[in-house]
Chain A
Amino acid sequence: MRRPSDPELAIATHDLAKRFGRRWAVDGVGLRVEPGVIYGFLGRNGAGKTTAIRLILGLLRPSRGSVGVFGHDLVRDRIGAARQVGSLLEARATYDHLSGRENLDMTRRLLGLPAGEIDRVLDMVEMSGAAERKVGHYSLGMRQRLGLARALLGGPRLLVLDEPMNGLDPDGIRDMRAAIRALPELGVTVFLSSHLLSEVEQTATHIGLMHDGRLLMQGPIDELLQRAGPELLIRPDDPARALRLLAAGGHVATAEAGGVLVRLRGGDAEAAGINRQLVEAGIEVAELALRHGSLESLYMQAQQIPAEAA
């Protein structure tokens, strides 16, 4: 039975699943993306992010479940749903023998938009100066921005971006991040997939974590990070021995470059106890730093717990 889509939500999927042969690439995903947010869709390569995005864009048909975009059911009303969405799936999906302006003009005409729309979106991504150049001569960063401009044609309410930072140099990442962050102020909801956790942490307001085709958790990033709890970063003289000692003591500890990271369940007292335990065992501690939970630690934790429990 199909569930009516929730018009309040930018994206609402219910029990969304897609099977290729015997493998479920996406299995029982229930996304809830509220309007006006930047939703980071996280997961490592092969987690099912791109398949889920292709389902949301109507490029694949669900094996089970439903997708709603601002209340439009994608199977019953693909055109109505697609009118709400702009997408950037592949930066190289351009006609290299044509100029940036001509590339945008193709989509503009298909969408039935006025000619002035091209200049509007070129300004938004600061590409007006390069609009007349052939796209074949663009850098990857320029292609990404052109792709973003194309996705913004017609002022969609939802922007779906698949790995928008992929292959960009630091300047390109900074420009793309700034462009994405500005979009909610214009009333655009952004749904972006990435495997770059730190990048999403800096850009997104909400996240969803995918693993093996399942959505492990989703919600506002601040709330989820609080759930991750604080961490204690330790720099001992013998990290391997410290790691063994802490694990034997029942702590959740992982190796971190040149040190050990311990997920705290208690507060300062637990940190002090760990320090004492190490020192009493003859391990010298050069640094002991308390820090808030990161997206990385949240991600690592989430992969260790079943989706139902999350």
Chain B
Amino acid sequence: MLTSLLVELKKLKGSLVLVLCLAAPSLVAGLLLLILLKRPNLDWSEVIEGATGLWSFFMLPMTVAALSALLAQIEHGPRAWDHMLALPVRRWRLFAAKGVVLMLLVAVMSLLLAIEIPAVIALLQKFAPSRAPAGPFPWAREADLLARMWGASLFMGMVQLWVALRFRSFVVPLTLGLGGTFIAVAASGAREGVYLPWLMPLNVMAGPTANHALALNLGLAGGAVTFVLMLLHLSRREA
């Protein structure tokens, strides 16, 4: 399994996947900078929840959709699945490696965002101190939120990856991702929204309608079950 994972990671060298991983959290950090320049005097809680809210509501679901499509297209594009699946390797390992890599990439993006948010604040404190929140940066609150969002995104990530690996066309997972994000926006205020995978990362933030513990648990459990079902389906499916 470790070999399959290593091979999967090596395929990312020089690919668009890494560019996307770098760009997505940076866009959120850039938007945060613009917001702080327009709206000074925000407190730490507003800064952290604003940035992670942007991340979990829009950028994370759309990036996961794009990442899963890109990861699957590494093989779909050049029709390399035939070669991979004809090898004397347990097929589930090949697909499991894709799932692990997707969640590793989401973790890397979360880490980058965790670094870029305080970097934006540090930049403001240096060049426009009046617009930056005062006091020490709440690292623990930020890390806790981003870690919860990562866990809650497991369900959405596995659904997206399953679809991306199943269908050769990248249009299918992208449409699902865009549709899921759109429905999440519409359903964000609804009680049933807690069961929507694309809304779970947002729901881990404390809010009036969101049960953050339920969102995290559903994200993790749903993700684990979907992961196993995906492996069973794809490894038995005819290539």
| Contact count band on A | 20 to 34
What 1/0 mask marks residues of chain B from 35 to 63 whose CB sits below 8 Å from any chain A CB? 00000000000000000000000000000
The 3 closest A-B pairs by CB, nearest first: A82-B88, A59-B239, A93-B80
Scoring A58, A83, A95 by chain B CB atoms within 10 A of each residue's CB, the highest score goes to: A95
Q: For B236, give the chain A residue with the smallest CB separation.
A: A61
- Please tell me if the beta carbons of B14 and A97 are within 8 angstroms of each other in the complex: yes
Q: Are A82 and B238 in contact (CB under 8 A)?
A: no
Chain B: CB-nearest residue to A97: B14
**Are A60 and B239 in contact (CB-based, < 8 A)?**
yes
Selected contact of A59 from candidates B4, B6, B86, B90, CB within 8 Å: B86
Which chain A residue has the least Cβ–Cβ distance from B4?
A: A110
Contact of B3 among A59, A80, A97, A112 (CB under 8 A): A112
Question: Nearest chain B CB to A67's CB is how many angstroms away?
Answer: 13
- Contact status A106-B10, CB under 8 Å: yes
Known contacts A89-B82, A97-B15: A107-B239 contact under CB 8 Å:
no
Within 8 A of A (CB), among B1-53: 3-4, 6-7, 10-11, 13-15
Q: Is B191 an interface residue (CB 8 A)?
A: no
Contact of A82 among B15, B78, B82, B86 (CB under 8 A): B86
Bound: A87/B4 CA distance, A: 19
Interchain Cβ contacts within 8 Å, total number = 79
Could you tell me the distance in whole angstroms from the C-beta of B231 to the nearest C-beta in chain A? 16
- A92, B78: Cβ atoms closer than 8 Å: yes
Q: Separation in Å of the B11 CB from the closest CB of chain A? A: 6
A198 to B13, CA, bound (A): 42
B residues sitting closer than 8 Å to A (CB atoms) are 3-4, 6-7, 10-11, 13-15, 74, 78-80, 82-90, 238-239
- List which A195-222 residues lie within 8 A (CB) of chain B: none
B14 A98 Cβ-Cβ under 8 A: yes
Contact pick for A150, options B79, B83, B85, B238, CB 8 Å: B83
B11 contacts which of A79, A85, A106 (Cβ < 8 Å)? Answer: A106
Residues on A with beta carbons closer than 8 Å to the beta carbon of B83: 87, 89-90, 93, 107, 150
Within 8 A of B (CB), among A98-124: 98, 102, 105-107, 109-112
Asked if B82 contacts A96 (CB within 8 A), the reply is no
> Which of B7, B74, B90 makes the CB contact (< 8 A) with A79?
B90
Asked if B86 and A57 make an inter-chain contact with CB atoms under 8 angstroms apart, the answer reads yes
In the complex, how many angstroms separate the beta carbon of B4 from the nearest chain A beta carbon? 7
User: How far in angstroms is the closest Cβ of chain A from B81?
Assistant: 8
